[in-house]
């Protein structure tokens, strides 16, 4: 598929996130710690869009159960 531009990603401020649909795949792009990270927009435990919540300290939080995931690696940071 190659590189795909995500509308709005270039304008993200620090600790902001935007969601996009790229050919049927829902992705989120977050700017944190001075870098952009792209990942699946759906939380792993239940259908919730990660782009509907906030980024803080390099992690994104699920809006339903407050599970947190490291943006750089996807590693879960709490057992929810």
- Give residue-wise pLDDT tens across range 43-80: 887 889 999 998 999 999 999 988 899 999 999 998 65
pLDDT for the residue 22: 85
pLDDT for the residue 15: 95
Its pTM stands at 0.85
Candidates 16, 11, 21; CA nearest to 42 is 21
Question: Hey, what CATH topology would domain 9-70 get?
Answer: Rieske Iron-sulfur Protein (2.102.10)
Q: Is the pLDDT of residue 1 over 70?
A: no
In this prediction, residues 22-46 reach a mean pLDDT of 90
DSSP structure string for the chain: ------TTGGGPPTTEEEEEEETTEEEEEEEETTEEEEEESB-SSSS-BGGGS-EETTEEE-TTT--EEETTT--BSS--
CB 55 within 8 A of CB 16: yes
For the chain, what are the domain ranges? Answer: 9-70
């Amino acid at each position: 598929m190659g590189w795909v531009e995500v509308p709005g990603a270039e304008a993200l401020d620090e600790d902001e996130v935007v969601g996009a649909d790229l050919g049927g795949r829902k992705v989120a792009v977050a700017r944190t710690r001075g870098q952009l990270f792209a990942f699946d927009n759906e939380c792993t435990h239940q259908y919730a869009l990660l782009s509907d919540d906030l980024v803080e300290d390099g992690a994104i939080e699920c809006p339903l159960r407050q599970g947190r995931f490291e943006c750089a690696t996807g590693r879960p940071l709490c057992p929810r």
